[in-house]
């Protein structure tokens, strides 16, 4: 007598009324979620004139330092510009809120008082809600209407270690591991449809369901608190020290340019060294 497990035959209506609807609804929910996230995203707020001036002052110094080894700026102008930035950083001229008071204690900026940081926190929470609520509704819908259904048999062999993953909701120890239950089919689509979303919506889409498992509703809030706002007073202090150090590395790219041009066209004899 053969010990092979009995063969199951599925009703074609299970394919038509359970398998296809679950897959089709999950694809539609992912597409809808992507466009809802786009609608909920608010345009970035414009910086004030003082805030832009604060950021550009830092970038100006960084560019000056990056080109100090072969600078196109003549020595007199380089020294004047570098000294001007050093004095301005020390006096706090470029700070958005003005120069700091001597008697005021230095404290890091509070992200809760920054409107841009608060907007970023709220946007992150709304995005997480759009990500999580549809998945909760989908799981409830499948558990209520399709609990205990066997939907499909996988066309490739698997080990018994996959049985608990592929047959959730069906407590049958003698069923072959290749059969997939309705709840397990939901989880397979949960991760398997991401390639289809990238094909339809591009790589940077909001329909990627795997992000729900790796993030929490408060992850974006923590990122906003760590990233904003920047303490430009400390940044200017560090940049001032870097500028003073880069003055020792300064060389002008136009030094002896006349001799180099004449030597290139053979008007001067080449250097002996």
Q: Identify the pLDDT of residue 115.
A: 63
Question: pLDDT per residue over 57-110, tens digit each?
Answer: 999 999 999 888 888 898 899 999 999 999 998 888 888 877 777 655 555 556
**What is the C-alpha separation between 135 and 145, in angstroms, rounded?**
16
Percent of the chain scoring above 70 in pLDDT? 82
**Average predicted confidence (pLDDT) for the chain:** 80
Question: pLDDT per residue over 119-143, tens digit each?
Answer: 777 777 877 788 888 888 998 999 8
Question: pLDDT per residue over 193-251, tens digit each?
Answer: 888 888 888 877 877 766 555 555 444 444 444 445 678 888 888 899 999 888 888 88
**What is the C-alpha separation between 9 and 190, in angstroms, rounded?**
26
Q: Identify the pLDDT of residue 46.
A: 78
Question: pLDDT per residue over 181-192, tens digit each?
Answer: 898 999 888 888
pTM above 0.75, yes or no: no
Question: Phi and psi for 71 in degrees, rounded to 5?
Answer: -80, 135
């Amino acid at each position: 007598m053969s010990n092979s497990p009995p063969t199951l035959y599925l009703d074609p209506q299970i394919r038509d009324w359970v398998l296809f609807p679950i897959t089709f609804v999950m694809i539609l929910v992912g597409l809808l979620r992507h466009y809802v996230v786009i609608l909920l995203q608010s345009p970035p707020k414009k910086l004030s004139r003082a805030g832009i001036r604060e950021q550009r002052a830092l970038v100006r110094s960084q560019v000056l330092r990056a080109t100090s080894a072969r600078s196109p700026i003549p020595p007199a102008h380089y020294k004047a510009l570098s000294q001007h930035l050093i004095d301005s950083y020390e006096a706090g001229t470029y700070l958005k809120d003005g120069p700091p008071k001597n008697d005021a204690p230095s404290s890091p900026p509070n992200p809760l008082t920054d409107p841009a940081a608060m907007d970023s926190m709220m946007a992150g929470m709304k995005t997480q809600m759009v990500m999580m609520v549809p998945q909760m509704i989908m799981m409830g819908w499948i558990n209520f209407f399709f609990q205990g259904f066997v939907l499909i048999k996988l066309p490739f062999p698997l080990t018994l270690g996959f049985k608990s993953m592929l047959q959730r909701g069906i407590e049958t120890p003698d069923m072959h591991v290749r059969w997939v239950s309705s709840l397990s089919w939901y989880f397979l689509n949960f991760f398997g449809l991401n390639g289809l979303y990238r094909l339809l919506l591009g790589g940077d889409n909001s329909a990627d369901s795997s992000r729900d498992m790796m993030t929490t509703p408060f992850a974006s809030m923590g990122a906003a608190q760590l990233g904003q706002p920047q303490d430009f007073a400390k940044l200017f202090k560090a940049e001032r020290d870097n500028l003073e150090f880069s003055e020792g590395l300064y060389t002008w790219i136009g030094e002896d340019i006349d001799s180099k041009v004449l030597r290139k066209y053979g008007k001067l004899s080449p250097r002996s060294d």
